Structure 1
């Protein structure tokens, strides 16, 4: 056993002796400039040897820094925001997730969504309902308008939020400062989002890409009598913003010695939720979370890519969140102290005290189990000790007024010790101990930590009745062996397994695709379906969609605007397009059929060749309001080798649909003439014939877009 650590000499506690903070984390003991370096290589750092002086100086630094900030903690004392200090497990939820909305039944399924999370990792305390990126920018609808286009409009969203509230889950809405390229809302973002949140009953606002949500959002929400909690995506640029940003997202340190969160140290009631969306092993995140007594962003549907928790990570989060929720008032203790004295290398603890009870959170950073005495704490007569993690009462060895606590810690595992002063109690403690004991009958290391991509399927397209000759308005495409080479233009995801699409010949979704295939002869519309053709369909069939929101939104009194007859029909969902095709005896094209008809057999980049030529397509608009589409026959020089027209740069075109257990998406081809500016987050263009867009699908009301049309195919005899 180590001897008691020696207090390092403090020669100065003035300005220059205070440690410098690094980003979101404080320097670990023994690593700040000018301090004794008690280490032989990083893996041998003797943390406890430097802790006393480190802690003393960090308290001095905190005191002075709060003065410099003019710190006012009133936001953390407001009863209406008390829930933020118990908001342990948070998630960002894509509205396209099929567990949240059932596209077949046409209804929200909040209970199904929450039941699944409770089963797999113990559930959530709050949800960020995400309805903006990645589809924003396909037309000029802005971030606020997209909320209105959810199924049932704002009333539908309001009911979904009420369903979350019924289950005790708080709700955040997003705001993004970068959305200045779509149609103007006419009022500042803070007013628009505050009004929206009040209308639908949301509890808070997440600031996408914000380093601190500005105070103007607080002022706007207070002005309309609907106080909101604010949660920036990352650490505020100015520490003063801590005063009205009740929570924030954060990133974990991955060092052997877990770092201390700067914001947590400055304001222990500020609950950070650790975000690491692409993580496949979340152990480092969980260690940092538990050591600091903060929360987690349990994000799995990442822009339509399903990054599900492994069995081990899911069970670890269940056990951690059980303790973090039960003892939330301790984990926000103003007197918390990181780096409590531990007795074995690679084991770290934090102390969270109150007047009647104290909790120590413990993490084992070693790649092996740890046994024996782990923790030494000052002992008080009559104090009772409990091993919360394993659900048992402890009998420490008491020596010279110190309690030496023995614990068994799993490889890369966790521990938690509770001390109750004489006469103190915790409601439901016996039940909690029994629950934790039962959990730990299954060691975390016995559970699988293997990550698997979710399988994806392509929606079958039924063949049409064959036609030997090309029907009127169609072009015959001959059979051929074709190199189908295409890649996704997703902004995020790198080359992740599970990104983009999985074609029938592939064993997983991936960004880049190459396949030599035989394409049978077919006939394809020479031009995209026009407004006039779609009007003829409506008149003959009487078709009216069940979900009619945004259906033919740019028509007037049930008809195209005068002079728009030859423009491609837009504001039609993939279901609307299929209904038209079925009426016409046609079908939507497979994506490779669309590409072959546009590209021919020579692999060209554009229908007209390999050189970019803007005269072969409509002028690209960079205005905030999208342009009116061009007539489909306006650019004959843009024809493909087979004479197919208007393939690129006018309106996007529906092709194949894909789905997995959680998400539906369509491959869009051809790009459009609308290019909203101010951000690279807008739906990117795919003018090249070896590129496609992945358009997430939820419901016709939201899927219909002002720059999205279609063309049809008939099978050849």
Structure 2
């Protein structure tokens, strides 16, 4: 022991502050844990840094021995058990190379007019654009969760058609060979508490609808208790934490996300190295260019998260990246058994600077190399040198052609072209290609006839349109219950309160005078005179509408959910009506000869021409709004007019903190969203991820829309406007 301590200290000193007892290549701490460093000689160095160091065979052999030793020792330290990887029911994870994270509100996935899921349309689009997917992560929760007290289980149960329709939708994905995951949010401790412990609740839901896995949102490893609960429920699940997990968790979390800091020289994924059957899906949601993601994935023999609809913000994949994804996925699926090889050799030496390779030997004598070109220029030269073995034939799998090796001493030199920032794959076979390999080569040859550099890489946000609100018949004076808003000029200044996205193009919405969506908006407007309801529409108002019109929505799940027997609870006459969709609100407005307000009309009625922060002034007043509700359950709205101190300069009341209020709707090709104004009393605690309140006049909420049944909420109501003559 006395001799060990100085040796350990020496190792720490030589390895630097990120060094570790059992390796010089695997840094410890925070996000560094995800990756294993390359051989030091591969790191480019400028002349003033001493210049590049030539890598020798001894350098590589020492590095490979070091990380192999680390893996062997690490498995002993964590008591590694590979039983879950041996379970054939979970073997699908090893080929789940392309996973999409899909917002359930995506318009390619659900048709609210027909009232049905359109799984085939969604999958056909992905197949056309980048070759299809192996798994889908359905996302029904954030950013809408927290608008009321529905928890993450309720979000699934409240999808259109309920759990019966969800189960059928999952079966549609399975029919197309696509596995289905849902997220779990252990930060969801502010909404309605579940009736059972979370592991059991998640397992029971997964069994009922037939899904295959769970993504652990924001989790640094999904605890073993969740796997055990799924096993007990008779439906083993693949768990996929988002964050850095302890090495022990590799034994039961068969998948993970890779959220890397990319470097010119790639790195080796720590979890893939610990267990080569572990599947990583690289997630880089905001990147406009996916080259780094695909390079790191192909080098490590893992997959990626094809994530375009990011919380209702479209970050579409370019044509160049889509085609690169198609090619890489085709190769990985074709080489899948080899890409789990326990004898994987990352950083197999290459003959070209900036080209990095992994060698994947199989037990049947086959060997594959996956290569990436990190250079901005193309190459056509000898790239690999391999020991001469007369029995082997070599194929440029990327281009689908056989190679003619050149002898050099006891080695064979393999030359083939590699595109700029492109990919390569070589396959060595102890004979002729079998039918599957021949078919793969045929597909790749046809696929690579066009160079990736000839495809567009430009990114642009999706065009977005404001849904028209038809004008009403004009009124000469304020109808009963309405307030006149005089004509006037004002500066319409507002920002969206999306939690993520920063100020990137595509965040929030695009007003008619803007060329693209953005978070911060300012525009000088001249508004004609109009009338607006003094209070939100009440239960009594809405009951009169129903009695007079006979209105009943086609999609009626959750319609007036808090009413019983066709009417509202006793004493609720003057409370704002809720559990009404935007479509329900529009129907009421049309019956009343009114319409929903444009957002800028709502804001002008709330602030007047002076730009005040709140309807009553620039300083917050507790007496001007309902008392906040910070418990796990939301309460009914206060009666209208209960907080007269909150009136606007024009006398409009209950604008802030009463109920969220429907205004405009925006659409692009993939997303529908409503702008909500005013906020509500409900403030679920314990997480920053809940739907943020928008109490100020210069703030709005953006609620993603899917179907009336799901859009309805306990805390969303509305008020109407009428045009003036």
Task: Please give the TM-score of this superposition, normalised by the length of structure 2.
Answer: 0.95
1:43: how far off?
8.4
Alignment map for 1:460-479 (pairs within 5 Å) = 460-479=468-487
Q: Does 1:324 align with 2:332?
A: yes
Q: What does residue 38 of structure 2 align with?
A: 28
Relative distance call for 1:342 and 1:38 in structure 2 (3 A) is farther
Q: Please tell me whether the aligned partners of residues 121 and 317 of structure 1 are also in contact (alpha carbons under 8 angstroms).
A: yes
1:496: how far off?
1.1
Q: Please tell me whether the aligned partners of residues 27 and 260 of structure 1 are also in contact (alpha carbons under 8 angstroms).
A: yes
Alignment map for 1:541-552 (pairs within 5 Å) = 541-552=549-560
Pick aligned residue for 2:110 from 83, 101, 115: 101
1:234: how far off?
2.2
Q: What does residue 4 of structure 2 align with?
A: none
1:38: how far off?
12
Q: Deviations over 1:385-408 (max 9, x none)?
A: 000111110011122331110011
Relative distance call for 1:17 and 1:76 in structure 2 (3 A) is closer
Q: What does residue 407 of structure 1 align with?
A: 416
Q: What does residue 571 of structure 2 align with?
A: 563
Q: Please tell me whether the aligned partners of residues 630 and 650 of structure 1 are also in contact (alpha carbons under 8 angstroms).
A: yes
Q: What does residue 221 of structure 1 align with?
A: 230
Partner Cα separation in structure 2 for residue 589 and residue 458 of structure 1:
13
Q: Does 1:523 align with 2:531?
A: yes
Pick aligned residue for 2:170 from 161, 166, 170: 161
1:415: how far off?
0.6
Partner Cα separation in structure 2 for residue 37 and residue 431 of structure 1:
43
Q: Structure 2 unaligned runs (5+)?
A: 1-10
Alignment map for 1:503-522 (pairs within 5 Å) = 503-522=511-530
1:411: how far off?
0.9
Q: What does residue 192 of structure 1 align with?
A: 201
Paired residue secondary structure (1:600): helix
Q: Deviations over 1:405-434 (max 9, x none)?
A: 001111111111000024x64332222212
Paired residue secondary structure (1:324): helix
Relative distance call for 1:271 and 1:676 in structure 2 (3 A) is same
Partner Cα separation in structure 2 for residue 298 and residue 48 of structure 1:
38
Relative distance call for 1:252 and 1:175 in structure 2 (3 A) is same
Q: Does 1:626 align with 2:634?
A: yes
Alignment map for 1:703-714 (pairs within 5 Å) = 703-714=711-722
1:41: how far off?
4.7
Partner Cα separation in structure 1 for residue 515 and residue 50 of structure 2:
42
Q: What does residue 8 of structure 2 align with?
A: none
1:15: how far off?
4.7
1:440: how far off?
1.3
Pick aligned residue for 1:585 from 584, 593, 618: 593
Pick aligned residue for 1:263 from 263, 271, 275: 271
Q: Please tell me whether the aligned partners of residues 252 and 284 of structure 1 are also in contact (alpha carbons under 8 angstroms).
A: no
Partner Cα separation in structure 1 for residue 81 and residue 69 of structure 2:
18
Partner Cα separation in structure 2 for residue 602 and residue 635 of structure 1:
22
Q: What does residue 71 of structure 1 align with?
A: 80
Pick aligned residue for 1:687 from 695, 712, 717: 695
Paired residue secondary structure (1:76): helix
Relative distance call for 1:564 and 1:387 in structure 2 (3 A) is same
Relative distance call for 1:147 and 1:17 in structure 2 (3 A) is closer
Q: Please tell me whether the aligned partners of residues 30 and 37 of structure 1 are also in contact (alpha carbons under 8 angstroms).
A: no
Q: Please tell me whether the aligned partners of residues 102 and 307 of structure 2 are also in contact (alpha carbons under 8 angstroms).
A: yes
Partner Cα separation in structure 1 for residue 644 and residue 44 of structure 2:
76
Q: Does 1:55 align with 2:59?
A: no
Partner Cα separation in structure 2 for residue 366 and residue 308 of structure 1:
24
Q: What does residue 492 of structure 2 align with?
A: 484
Q: Does 1:111 align with 2:129?
A: no
Task: Please give the TM-score of this superposition, normalised by the length of structure 1.
Answer: 0.96
Partner Cα separation in structure 2 for residue 77 and residue 253 of structure 1:
32
Q: Please tell me whether the aligned partners of residues 652 and 672 of structure 1 are also in contact (alpha carbons under 8 angstroms).
A: yes
Q: What does residue 137 of structure 2 align with?
A: 128
1:191: how far off?
1.1
Relative distance call for 1:349 and 1:518 in structure 2 (3 A) is same
Partner Cα separation in structure 1 for residue 626 and residue 115 of structure 2:
37
1:57: how far off?
1.0
1:19: how far off?
3.6
Paired residue secondary structure (1:407): strand
Q: Please tell me whether the aligned partners of residues 95 and 101 of structure 1 are also in contact (alpha carbons under 8 angstroms).
A: yes
Paired residue secondary structure (1:220): helix
Relative distance call for 1:253 and 1:376 in structure 2 (3 A) is farther
Q: What does residue 146 of structure 2 align with?
A: 137
Q: Please tell me whether the aligned partners of residues 485 and 513 of structure 1 are also in contact (alpha carbons under 8 angstroms).
A: yes
Q: What does residue 394 of structure 2 align with?
A: 385
Q: What does residue 668 of structure 1 align with?
A: 676
Partner Cα separation in structure 2 for residue 450 and residue 615 of structure 1:
52
1:556: how far off?
1.9
Q: Does 1:336 align with 2:344?
A: yes
Pick aligned residue for 2:285 from 277, 281, 288: 277
Q: Deviations over 1:71-116 (max 9, x none)?
A: 0111111110111001010011000000000122211100000000
Partner Cα separation in structure 1 for residue 559 and residue 163 of structure 2:
17
Partner Cα separation in structure 2 for residue 254 and residue 241 of structure 1:
24
Q: Please tell me whether the aligned partners of residues 38 and 46 of structure 1 are also in contact (alpha carbons under 8 angstroms).
A: no
Partner Cα separation in structure 2 for residue 39 and residue 216 of structure 1:
54
Q: Please tell me whether the aligned partners of residues 252 and 289 of structure 1 are also in contact (alpha carbons under 8 angstroms).
A: no
Paired residue secondary structure (2:648): coil
Q: Please tell me whether the aligned partners of residues 22 and 70 of structure 2 are also in contact (alpha carbons under 8 angstroms).
A: no
Partner Cα separation in structure 2 for residue 260 and residue 37 of structure 1:
20
Q: Deviations over 1:442-497 (max 9, x none)?
A: 10011111001101000000000000011100001111112111100000000011
Partner Cα separation in structure 1 for residue 97 and residue 53 of structure 2:
31
Relative distance call for 1:45 and 1:450 in structure 2 (3 A) is farther
1:25: how far off?
0.3
Q: Please tell me whether the aligned partners of residues 18 and 61 of structure 1 are also in contact (alpha carbons under 8 angstroms).
A: no
Q: Please tell me whether the aligned partners of residues 38 and 45 of structure 1 are also in contact (alpha carbons under 8 angstroms).
A: no
Q: What does residue 300 of structure 2 align with?
A: 292
Relative distance call for 1:478 and 1:243 in structure 2 (3 A) is same
Partner Cα separation in structure 1 for residue 162 and residue 118 of structure 2:
16
1:500: how far off?
0.3
Q: Does 1:612 align with 2:620?
A: yes
Structure 1 range deviating more: 425-434 or 300-309: 425-434
Q: Please tell me whether the aligned partners of residues 253 and 288 of structure 1 are also in contact (alpha carbons under 8 angstroms).
A: no
Relative distance call for 1:210 and 1:15 in structure 2 (3 A) is closer
Q: What does residue 234 of structure 1 align with?
A: 243
Q: What does residue 374 of structure 1 align with?
A: 383
1:47: how far off?
4.8
Partner Cα separation in structure 2 for residue 128 and residue 584 of structure 1:
43
Q: What does residue 447 of structure 2 align with?
A: 439
Partner Cα separation in structure 2 for residue 16 and residue 247 of structure 1:
25
Q: What does residue 6 of structure 1 align with?
A: none
Relative distance call for 1:47 and 1:624 in structure 2 (3 A) is farther
Partner Cα separation in structure 2 for residue 200 and residue 43 of structure 1:
59
Q: Alignment length, in residue pairs?
A: 704
Partner Cα separation in structure 1 for residue 223 and residue 324 of structure 2:
35
Q: Please tell me whether the aligned partners of residues 48 and 341 of structure 1 are also in contact (alpha carbons under 8 angstroms).
A: no
Partner Cα separation in structure 2 for residue 89 and residue 379 of structure 1:
36
Partner Cα separation in structure 2 for residue 66 and residue 37 of structure 1:
34
Partner Cα separation in structure 2 for residue 491 and residue 43 of structure 1:
44
Structure 1 range deviating more: 426-435 or 119-128: 426-435
Pick aligned residue for 1:534 from 537, 542, 566: 542
